């Protein structure tokens, strides 16, 4: 019986963790951000720092070495991390989510080999679902054929976050000759498996420093012992174990990034003077600030509603996670655009903090599925309810 996180939290301990994260984001986090933007790489000392601070196992059970912070309260911390550089947020987001997908179907031995080291930060796991020649989900083209105690894996993956510098890929494929979700399979694939070609993809517009991999598998052998769950249940591992809560976490990431943009805009409006008046005294600017604040609070509450629904095992969790992600991305787009407008021309220069925020925000439009994917999930749930 796997341990579960408690729905309660010690408020004094939680407040201390929250205060520590806020201090890190405002201080050392910004110094790391400058270094990442300058070098185009996430420094190893950043990962070591996050590890030492215990930020890789915030919501995992204490039995696994985590802090057992309930998911909805963990999102309060994710909002803070998301006010920092996109790559810092990405490291924390992946580390605090991928263990859950493995754990859901793991055997006791797999929990010892994969889950606990992922929680403690001793094992880096990348989520490998997206393919260059297929859509996300049951359209998987990567295939496996069982030969004795191994699966031989053939296919391609791309846009795999941290797929270059990881230890394992949590990878999804299908049994050769199968169709639909019933043929899918989830595997833990060693980064150094023979028959695998790893190519680092070109730099991105935003979230600089996070590596993304293009992977090619040519009859790469993967032990059957590394399969999570039964054959045919791969998408259950992907969606229920990772994507549903991950979409909620990404939605809260949008809140944090929007909050950072909003605060920068407010500070600029209070300090910038034109024609003898502060920008904050001008009605057009005040209206944009009001709209930003409203977008922020409405989105935050929808995200927390989705989180609590998922946490309690509610039947609408998948649809609500997509609603939260869809709404959050659109709100982030509006807030960052207004915030940049309040800055005027100077906000477009790389010397202005809002410029990095604006670039990082665009990545949220496709992380964990595009808006169009979210609408498909929501519409399916709504139409299914009517039927």
What is the tens place of the pLDDT at every residue in 23-36? 999 999 999 999 99
pLDDT of residue 185 exceeding 90, the answer is yes
Confidence of residue 4 (pLDDT cuts 50, 70, 90): very low
pLDDT of residue 3 exceeding 60, the answer is no
The helix (run of H) or strand (run of E) holding residue 381 is: helix 371-386
Q: Are 174 and 142 in contact (CB under 8 A)?
A: yes
Residue 43 in tokens: 């420094």
The pLDDT tens digits for 225-264 are 999 999 999 999 988 678 899 999 999 999 999 999 999 9
Instruction: Give residue 59's pLDDT.
Output: 92
Q: Are 147 and 104 in contact (CB under 8 A)?
A: no
Instruction: Give residue 180's pLDDT.
Output: 85
pLDDT of residue 136 exceeding 80, the answer is no
Q: Which domains does the chain have, with CATH numbers?
A: 11-120 (1.10.540.10), 125-232 (2.40.110.10), 235-386 (1.20.140.10)
For residue 35, the 8-state DSSP code is: H
Instruction: Give residue 6's pLDDT.
Output: 46
Q: List C-alpha distances in Å: 296 to 96, 302, 313, 326, 338.
A: 24, 10, 26, 14, 13
Instruction: Give residue 1's pLDDT.
Output: 35
DSSP characters for 112-140?
A: IIIIHHHHHTSS-EEEE---TTS-SSTT-
Contacts of 333 (CB under 8 A, 6+ apart): 361, 365
Mean pLDDT of 294-313: 97
Contacts of 87 (CB under 8 A, 6+ apart): 36, 42, 207, 208, 209, 210
The pLDDT tens digits for 317-342 are 999 999 999 999 999 999 999 999 99
* Mean pLDDT, all residues of the chain: 94
Confidence of residue 7 (pLDDT cuts 50, 70, 90): low
* Sign of the CA dihedral running 131, 136, 137, 140: negative
Q: What is the C-alpha separation between 258 and 264, in angstroms, rounded?
A: 10
Q: What is the C-alpha separation between 255 and 376, in angstroms, rounded?
A: 23
The pLDDT tens digits for 264-285 are 999 999 999 999 999 999 999 9
Q: Are 131 and 157 in contact (CB under 8 A)?
A: yes
Contacts of 326 (CB under 8 A, 6+ apart): 371, 374, 375, 378
Phi-psi region of 110 (alpha: psi -120 to 50; beta: other; left: phi over 0): alpha
Q: Are 374 and 322 in contact (CB under 8 A)?
A: yes
| Catalytic residue set | 368
Q: Are 368 and 247 in contact (CB under 8 A)?
A: yes
Instruction: Give residue 352's pLDDT.
Output: 92
Instruction: Give residue 2's pLDDT.
Output: 40
Please count the other Cβ atoms lying within 10 Å of the Cβ belonging to residue 121.
19
Residue % of the chain over a pLDDT of 90: 88
């Amino acid at each position: 019986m796997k341990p579960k996180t408690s729905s309660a939290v010690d408020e004094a301990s939680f407040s201390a963790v929250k205060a520590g994260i806020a201090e890190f984001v405002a201080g050392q986090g910004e110094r790391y951000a400058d270094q990442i933007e300058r070098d185009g790489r996430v420094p190893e000392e950043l990962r070591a720092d996050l590890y030492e601070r215990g930020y890789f196992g915030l919501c995992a059970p204490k039995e696994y070495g985590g802090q057992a912070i309930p998911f909805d309260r963990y999102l309060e911390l994710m909002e803070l991390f998301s006010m920092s550089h996109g790559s810092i947020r990405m490291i924390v987001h992946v580390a605090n989510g991928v263990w859950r997908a493995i754990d859901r179907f793991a055997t006791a031995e797999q929990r010892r080999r994969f889950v606990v080291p992922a929680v403690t930060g001793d094992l880096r796991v990348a989520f490998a679902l997206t393919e260059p020649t297929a859509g996300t989900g049951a359209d998987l083209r990567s295939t496996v054929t069982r030969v004795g105690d191994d699966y031989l894996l053939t296919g391609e993956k791309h846009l795999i976050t941290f797929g270059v510098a990881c230890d394992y890929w949590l990878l999804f494929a299908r049994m050769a000759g199968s169709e639909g979700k019933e043929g899918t399979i989830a595997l833990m694939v060693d980064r150094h498996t023979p028959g695998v070609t790893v190519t680092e993809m070109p730099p991105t517009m935003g979230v600089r420093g996070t590596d993304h991999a293009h992977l090619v598998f040519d009859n790469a052998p993967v032990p059957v012992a590394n399969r999570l769950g039964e054959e045919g249940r791969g998408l259950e591992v992907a969606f229920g174990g990772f994507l549903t809560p991950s979409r909620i976490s990404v939605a809260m990431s949008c809140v944090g990034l929007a909050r950072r943009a909003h605060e920068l805009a407010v500070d600029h409006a209070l300090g910038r003077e034109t024609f003898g008046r502060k920008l904050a005294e001008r009605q057009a600017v005040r209206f944009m600030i009001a709209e930003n604040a409203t977008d922020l609070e409405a989105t935050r509450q929808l995200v927390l509603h989705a989180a609590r629904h998922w946490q309690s095992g509610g039947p609408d969790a998948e649809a609500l996670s997509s609603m939260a992600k869809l709404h959050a991305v659109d709100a982030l787009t509006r807030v960052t655009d207004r915030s940049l407008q309040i800055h005027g021309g100077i906000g477009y220069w790389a010397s202005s903090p809002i410029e990095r925020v604006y670039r990082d925000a665009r990545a949220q439009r496709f992380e964990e599925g595009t808006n169009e994917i979210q609408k498909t999930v929501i519409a399916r749930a709504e139409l299914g309810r009517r039927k």
